Structure 1
Amino acid sequence: MASSARTVEEIFKDYTARRTSILRALTLDRENLCLYGHPNESWEVSLPAEEVPAELPEPALGINFARDGMNRKDWLSLVAVHSDSWLISLAFYLAARLNRNERKRLFTMMNDLPTVFEVVTERKPVKDKPSIESESKSQGSTKVKSNPKIADADYEDNEDEHGETLCGSCGGNYNADEFWIGCDVCERWFHGKCVKTTPAKAESIKQYKCPSCSLRSGRH
């Protein structure tokens, strides 16, 4: 179980190899104790390490106990969730000496891969998009917003309530690589290029109004 991986690339390679081995294991029918994925993409089921504490974080023990009383798909999903938890804890155990930027880069690389749970359940990963509600709540303590709502990939995803975020001008889908801005009046989102607004220009706007809302305001 020992691993000498220390750089971001080495830890990521270790993570992907162990992940691959676990995915292979979950396609077979075995009596499970602890499910281990190894850096050479092999896997095994065995008793946990005897050392206390163990040299490396250990996977969940006794995942076979609930097996007989569960639907096979539900059981595989449970094992997958525990396996994801173990893979992430092991990766960040190895990343203990990395700096903040290196840890962030490692997590981004890991997060670009579907989780074991997503693969086993055939669930498609959902891309982050701006959440109008989360932005409104964060500024709900004041009636006047001090800054325009700028779309950011870090905002909390709210897929169930908002569905696809579309540009109020061209109707295009949200893309985290493009600059977006939200109207403080109608709360619709727009490509910066569609409303001729840049990130630098947006910084100086106290309350952003889209062209349609600006036109309506001018008529009153």
Structure 2
Amino acid sequence: MDGAYNPRTVEEVFRDFKSRRAGMIKALTTDVEEFFQQCDPDKENLCLYGLPNEQWEVTLPAEEVPPELPEPALGINFARDGMQDKDWLSLVAVHSDAWLLSVAFYFGARFGFDKTERKRLFGMINDLPTIYEVVNGKDKVSPQGNNHSNNKHKSNSKPQRGSESQSKSSKIMVQKEEDEGLQEEDDEDEHGDALCGACGENYASDEFWICCDACEKWFHGKCVKITPARAEHIKQYKCPSCSNKRARSS
């Protein structure tokens, strides 16, 4: 853990918040199988920590009283096998959101943020979707504007509309050159609310995205280690979380 790390400005606290948040989102999405295994109910009270280096850690709470930083929810491992995986992950996500806020405003209080600084910090934080929203897919509108589209993989160019005629096996959507000028502004408006199910960051038209055929969440290709070339050969894509759920149930 990292109690000695002390960001002192609004920008530094927000950067710390984003990094810890990224680590916890990773634990609850792309690293969910490893996270699940580490939360053994037979162990003592465990906590999920987001770290300033965008990593996560499941460990015992700090021994000192009071601790250097606010502590996350205690004993998340005890409920793991007593409820559905999705419900358990949602519960951990809610507590993780609360912990992130408490850490950010702890730093604000410690270094004397005034009313204006606190308001600015909260505004920056509030512009990001919560971990709960990311984990449950409530943070976005599908980049296609329709969660049931048959064409879910996107190349670096913007997805074309009216692509229903493409086959399921050919999921890479290529924007026709003659349409780019007319659709550029509309595409940004239509897809601007989409967020990656792994990192929680916004859609960007110059990045490759892929959609899970099981949970219908969208992901940066780089976040799930899928390249455009590899996606062309995938008939049905399942994200790491959905793949792990199937492995555990079999």
Question: How would you bin the TM-score normalised by the shorter chain?
Answer: 0.5 to 0.7
CA distance in 1 between counterparts of 2:94 and 2:12 reads: 24
CA distance in 1 between counterparts of 2:97 and 2:12 reads: 19
Gaps of 5+ in 1: 127-220
Report the equivalent of 2:180. Answer: none
CA distance in 2 between counterparts of 1:124 and 1:114 reads: 6
Work out which of the residue numbers 18, 25, 31 in structure 1 matches 2:20: 18
Work out which of the residue numbers 114, 127, 133 in structure 2 matches 1:112: 127
Report the equivalent of 2:155. Answer: none
1:60-79 matches, cutoff 5 A: 60-79=73-92
Report the equivalent of 2:58. Answer: 45
CA distance in 2 between counterparts of 1:121 and 1:49 reads: 30
- Aligned-partner SS, 2:75: coil
CA distance in 2 between counterparts of 1:90 and 1:124 reads: 23
CA RMSD of aligned residues (A): 1.4
Range that drifts further, 64-73 or 23-32: 23-32
Could you tell me how far 1:124 is from its partner in structure 2? 3.1
Could you tell me how far 1:67 is from its partner in structure 2? 1.1
- Aligned-partner SS, 1:75: helix
- Aligned-partner SS, 1:66: helix
**Residue 103 of structure 1 aligns to which amino acid in structure 2?**
R
CA distance in 2 between counterparts of 1:67 and 1:8 reads: 36
**Residue 18 of structure 2 aligns to which amino acid in structure 1?**
T
Report the equivalent of 1:158. Answer: none
Moved over 6 A (4+): none
Report the equivalent of 2:70. Answer: 57
1:160-199 matches, cutoff 5 A: none
- Aligned-partner SS, 1:44: strand
Query: Does 2:20 correspond to 1:5?
Result: no
1:57-136 matches, cutoff 5 A: 57-96=70-109, 97-124=112-139
Could you tell me how far 1:42 is from its partner in structure 2? 1.2
Could you tell me how far 1:125 is from its partner in structure 2? 7.2
CA distance in 1 between counterparts of 2:101 and 2:82 reads: 28
How many aligned positions are there? Answer: 126
Give the 3 Å change call, closer, same or farther, for CA 36–16 of structure 1 in structure 2.
Answer: same
**Residue 105 of structure 1 aligns to which amino acid in structure 2?**
R
Greater relative contact order, per chain length (Cα 8 Å cut-off, separation 6+): 2
CA distance in 2 between counterparts of 1:60 and 1:125 reads: 27
Q: Deviations over 1:178-200 (max 9, x none)?
A: xxxxxxxxxxxxxxxxxxxxxxx
Gaps of 5+ in 2: 40-45, 142-250
Could you tell me how far 1:121 is from its partner in structure 2? 0.6
